[in-house]
Amino acid sequence: MAQPLAERMRPHTLEEYIGQEHLVGADGVLRRMLASGRISSFILWGPPGVGKTTLARIVATTLNVPFYTLSAVTSGVKEVREVIDKAKSGRFFSQNSPILFIDEIHRFSKSQQDSLLGAVEQGVVTLIGATTENPSFEVIRPLLSRCQVYVLKPLDDAALLTLARRVVEQDPELKKRRIELRETDALVRFAGGDARKLLNTLELVVQAAPEGEDVVVTNEGVTQSIQENPAAYDKGGEMHYDIISAFIKSIRGSDPDAAVYWLARMVEGGEDPAFIARRLVISAAEDVGLANPNALLLANACFDTVMKIGWPEGRIPLSELAIYLATSPKSNSAYRAINEACALVRQTGNLPVPLHLRNAPTRLMSDLGYAKGYKYAHDYEGHFVEQQFLPDGLPPRRLWEPQPNPAEQKMAERMKHLWGKRYEQDTKNE
């Protein structure tokens, strides 16, 4: 049985690789590293089907080093340690470090990621991770600090068309048929920047054509093949990067009809219900936020419900929540506030906690002034007393900016009453 087209046509050199010019082009950082003969550990972050695994294999082949691969879905701490032991025993003094490639590294637990730290730090292995999720949220900080993060982009239309023409001309199986790419709009549209989807779709169209006849690729033929075989369109059940993006943007844009449409696309495509529910929880916090704090409670309830009842009934609470979020007032003030706070922390460093905010569980701490001068808010009228809560030397500043919706305006009025001028300013930190 022949391998899938996507596997048969997997590139083996940078010259065969399509896309990601910012990384592998003439001045790309990965090309420069490979030219030097040495690389450091890195993580490839991008949607499915843009060449993360392929690029890792090309790096190993170019450097002529052992290549070990683990999947976060099927491997645990035991498998990680076994691979590290193999890397130690199989390495010669003059060799570059073997490469350990971990697919879907965002699914590794903290203990699994911890088990990698020593080997990466000591150079026993060079780690290449692949993830579709933001590594800032999914990869532990000690491991992330030892890796560069390179962002891979969805393939543009030109790259997808180049790929389609190449496989028609070069693939041994497709060369047995006469194939004409007469219309390509649907082929490119359904691929959505994903090379694997493009090749899977093209393979479906060829398989649907009668044996021995010419294959003419048209928009109508592509659409019909996709509708007749949606499972084959996305064989791996991978994240529908383009569809989930449209789904969340429809909710953010307060369009319940579009939100339900994109939800239906995921339901019909066999998307993991837990994935959809997690994204809705994020949207409730990021996009609805303090404009309707109940949204996050309902999102968590929806997640629990979907986990309990599964498919097909799980589509109903997902639809209910999607409509609720889309029709809710919107605010990203909490999202913006934490981003502002993180930026401030990176700018000012690890400032010490003021003494009056520290606990004093021992006599020595009390003698050193811990907790001295702290005012217990509940002892004061209205359960509030003005005092310093930011570190010494950091002037009072606004990180949370209430937005013009009824819920946050009520919060803002309370803050004005308590803090006065600090919350009467319209412009932050002036």
Taking Cα atoms as reference points, which of 119, 133, 120 lies closest to residue 42? 120
List pLDDT tens digits, range 351-389.
888 888 888 888 888 888 888 888 888 988 889 888 888
Q: Is the pLDDT of residue 231 over 50?
A: no
Token pair, residue 231, equals 């499972």
DSSP string, 277-343: HHHHHHHIIIIIGGGSTHHHHHHHHHHHHHHHH-TTTTHHHHHHHHHHHHHS----HHHHHHHHHHH
List pLDDT tens digits, range 139-198.
888 888 889 999 998 888 999 999 999 999 998 888 888 898 998 888 888 887 889 888
Beta bridge partners of 128: 42, 101
Return the pLDDT at 79: 82
Return the pLDDT at 235: 36
Residues 311, 317, 320, 325: is their CA dihedral positive or negative? negative
Return the pLDDT at 83: 84
Taking Cα atoms as reference points, which of 276, 268, 267, 266 lies closest to residue 321? 276
Averaged pLDDT of the chain:
84
Highest mean pLDDT among 106-115, 127-136, 283-292: 283-292
**DSSP annotation of 227:** H
Highest mean pLDDT among 134-148, 298-312, 318-332, 369-383: 318-332
Q: Are 55 and 24 in contact (CB under 8 A)?
A: yes
Q: CB 394: neighbour CB atoms within 10 A?
A: 12
Rounded Cα distance, 366 and 387, in Å: 20
Reported as a pLDDT band with limits 50, 70 and 90, residue 228 is: low
Rounded Cα distance, 234 and 76, in Å: 26
- The stretch 225-246 carries a mean pLDDT of 59
Helices and strands counted in the chain (H then E): 21, 7
Reported as a pLDDT band with limits 50, 70 and 90, residue 430 is: very low
The domains located in the chain, with CATH, are: 20-151 (3.40.50.300), 157-233 (1.10.8.60), 241-327 (1.20.272.10)
Q: Is the pLDDT of residue 427 over 60?
A: no
C-alpha atoms less than 13 angstroms from C-alpha of 118 in its C-beta half-sphere: 9
What backbone phi and psi angles, to 5 degrees, belong to 63?
-85, -10
Q: Are 423 and 396 in contact (CB under 8 A)?
A: no
Residues 151, 39, 62, 128: is their CA dihedral positive or negative? negative
Measured N-to-C along each axis, helices 110-122 and 77-90 cross at an angle, to the nearest 10 degrees, of 10
Rounded Cα distance, 66 and 87, in Å: 8
DSSP string, 172-190: TTGGGS-EEE---HHHHHH
pLDDT top residue among 423 and 377: 377
Q: Are 276 and 266 in contact (CB under 8 A)?
A: yes
Rounded Cα distance, 395 and 403, in Å: 23
